[in-house]
Amino acid sequence: MIREIEENDLTVTEFDEKLWRLMVESVEVDENGKLVFTLRNGMEIEV
């Protein structure tokens, strides 16, 4: 899905709950407030 968005230069301009549920497996918040998003493909993104 990410490749499709990149290849077609699609931009998400507002929150889409369906897209969120398709892409995100979980979100964890550590004691310092750092967020770790785990995507359904296993990729982790720290913010």
- Tell me phi and psi for residue 19, to 5 degrees: -65, -45
Identify the weakest region by mean pLDDT among 3-7, 35-39, 43-47: 3-7
What is the model's pLDDT at position 29? 97
pLDDT in tens, 16-41: 899 899 999 999 999 999 999 999 99
In whole angstroms, give the CA distance from residue 31 to residue 2. 30
CB 1 within 8 A of CB 23: yes
Do residues 13 and 21 touch, judged by C-beta distance below 8 A? Answer: no
Buried b (16+ CB within 10 A) or exposed e, 4-32: eeeeeeeeeeeeeeeeeeeeeeeeeeeee
